[in-house]
């Protein structure tokens, strides 16, 4: 290809690109207008925000600063935070167990390994599995954790179990989507080589798919664990256990000094988990 042809082919100034950018710009501007988004409103209300954080000098504990350092309460918050992390751990294990097969169901290239063949019956079977898996995953992740928590509270009552199930269901849907994208991005070469040698789908997945997807798998699982800890921190708002119970209770009581203490504990926990995740990624990816 000549230099001029190469420049012409690689230029970003194409009608197609201009149309796409115009559509994106229109959607953004229309969304901004429809939602009454305004930086001016934030600037005008900044004084109210500062006043809220400062609190009322006449009301003890209404200010966010300094945080309340009552050791009895800190001990309660600490164990509630531990419970929150435990909820995230159990939910993650459940979601991984469910998300792995669901991710295979929603990966077209993996379905071709599991259900090989080009006949109509094979194509129909793959499509049926794919759309069933996609529907399940979409339902799981489309409903927010708080809504799932309310549903499970009605089934198992107040406490951590409702929060665990809510996190597990939602994370299953999200994780299956993330893992399926990793599955579909693998190099087909090793898969074709094993298929040509007559290997079954279990060996093909174990020796050609899993080694390629493992770094992506570890990264996504760690990401969801961090997200689950953050999400579990507010599930107590609906009685699903963890540190969120104290956070909601103190917010509702306008005990903002205690709220500040709880928030600091959550931030420290997430920071520690983030550093742990970074170490694991560096060690295994």
Range scoring the smallest mean pLDDT among 55-64, 79-88, 94-103, 178-187:
55-64
The mean per-residue pLDDT over the stretch 143-163 comes to: 92
The mean per-residue pLDDT over the stretch 245-267 comes to: 92
Range scoring the smallest mean pLDDT among 5-9, 83-87, 252-256:
5-9
| Cα distance between residue 169 and residue 176, in whole Å | 11
Task: Give the confidence band of 187 by pLDDT, cuts at 50, 70, 90.
Answer: very high
Which CATH architecture fits 71-284?
A: Orthogonal Bundle (1.10)
The mean per-residue pLDDT over the stretch 265-273 comes to: 93
- The secondary structure element, H or E, covering residue 184 is helix 160-184
The pLDDT of residue 7: 58
Number of separate helices (H) and strands (E) present in the chain = 14, 0
pLDDT of residue 11 exceeding 80: no
Any alpha helices (H) in 185-255, and if so which ranges?
Answer: 188-196, 201-204, 210-235, 244-252
Write out pLDDT tens, residues 215-227. Answer: 999 999 999 999 9
Average pLDDT across the chain, whole number:
91
Write out pLDDT tens, residues 50-93. Answer: 998 999 888 888 899 899 889 999 999 999 999 999 999 999 99
Residue 40 structure tokens: 């001016």
């Amino acid at each position: 290809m000549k230099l001029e042809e190469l420049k012409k082919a690689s230029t970003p100034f194409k009608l197609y690109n201009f149309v796409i950018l115009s559509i994106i710009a229109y959607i953004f501007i229309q969304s901004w207008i429809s939602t009454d988004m305004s930086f001016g409103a934030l600037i005008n209300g900044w004084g109210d925000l500062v006043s809220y954080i400062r609190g009322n000098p006449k009301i003890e504990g209404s200010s966010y600063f300094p945080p309340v350092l009552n050791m009895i309460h800190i001990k309660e918050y600490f164990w509630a935070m531990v419970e929150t992390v435990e909820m995230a751990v159990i939910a993650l294990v459940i979601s991984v167990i469910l998300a792995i097969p669901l991710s295979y169901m929603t990966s077209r290239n993996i379905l071709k390994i599991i259900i090989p063949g080009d006949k109509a019956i094979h194509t129909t079977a793959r499509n049926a599995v794919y759309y069933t898996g996609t529907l399940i995953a979409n339902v799981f992740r489309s409903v927010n954790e708080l809504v799932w928590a309310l549903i499970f509270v009605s089934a198992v009552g107040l406490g951590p179990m409702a929060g665990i199930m809510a996190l597990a269901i939602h994370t299953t849907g999200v994780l299956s989507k993330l893992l399926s994208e990793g599955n579909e991005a693998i190099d087909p070469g090793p898969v074709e080589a094993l298929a040509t040698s007559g290997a079954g789908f279990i060996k093909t997945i174990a020796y050609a798919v899993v080694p390629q997807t493992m770094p992506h798998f570890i990264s996504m699982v760690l990401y969801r664990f961090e997200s689950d800890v953050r999400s579990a921190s507010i599930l107590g708002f609906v009685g699903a256990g963890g540190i969120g119970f104290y956070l909601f209770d103190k917010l509702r009581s306008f005990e903002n000094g205690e709220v500040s203490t709880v928030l600091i504990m959550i931030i420290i926990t997430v920071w520690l988990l983030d550093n742990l995740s970074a170490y694991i990624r560096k060690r295994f990816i």
